[in-house]
Amino acid sequence: MQVHKIFLRRLSVLELSATEFSVLVLVGANPGVYLRQLGSALDVSPPNLVAVVDRLVQRGVLARLPSAEDRRLQELHLTDAGRHLLARAEAQVEMFETGLEQSLSAAERRCLDSALKKLAAFDPPRADPPGEPSGDPRDDPNQAGA
């Protein structure tokens, strides 16, 4: 928990929450992303995400633009101020991560790297009730190897 608090303090210098930072990162990497896509990626409910996006729009770092394909949808884009803020926030996060890394010995870093790779590759078993199809092609014997 202490590490998370330090991370939040780094972002608070820029008056950003962790969710706001995540929104800026994802919009920066995916210009024109829709709110629904963003919510799905962040696993944030639409009402909560709208409030976050509204704050960032009011702050002038995010812009809502009508979609060229569907005028009912709004694309999200970073403004120039948003790109500048994101660069500053990423610099803060990089300093934070560098500090964390330097607090570990070389052996501890290797161990952490190995554990993180193992966690990243983890594929949990499906939680579907017995006898219910999961919808995952890996669980369908007719789709094996497809």
Residue extents of the structural domains in the chain: 2-96
pLDDT per residue as tens digits for the range 95-126? 999 998 999 999 999 999 999 999 999 988 87
The pLDDT of residue 92 is 93
Range in 41-50, 57-66, 78-87 with the lowest mean pLDDT: 41-50
Cα separation of 41 and 63, whole Å?
A: 19
Residue 133 has pLDDT above 70, yes or no: no
Q: What does each C-alpha distance from 99 to 4, 5, 7, 93, 116 come to in angstroms?
A: 13, 14, 11, 10, 18
- Indicate the class that CATH gives domain 2-96: mainly alpha
The pLDDT of residue 126 is 78
Residue 31 has pLDDT above 60, yes or no: yes
Mean pLDDT of all residues in 74-97: 96
State the Rg of the chain over Cα.
20
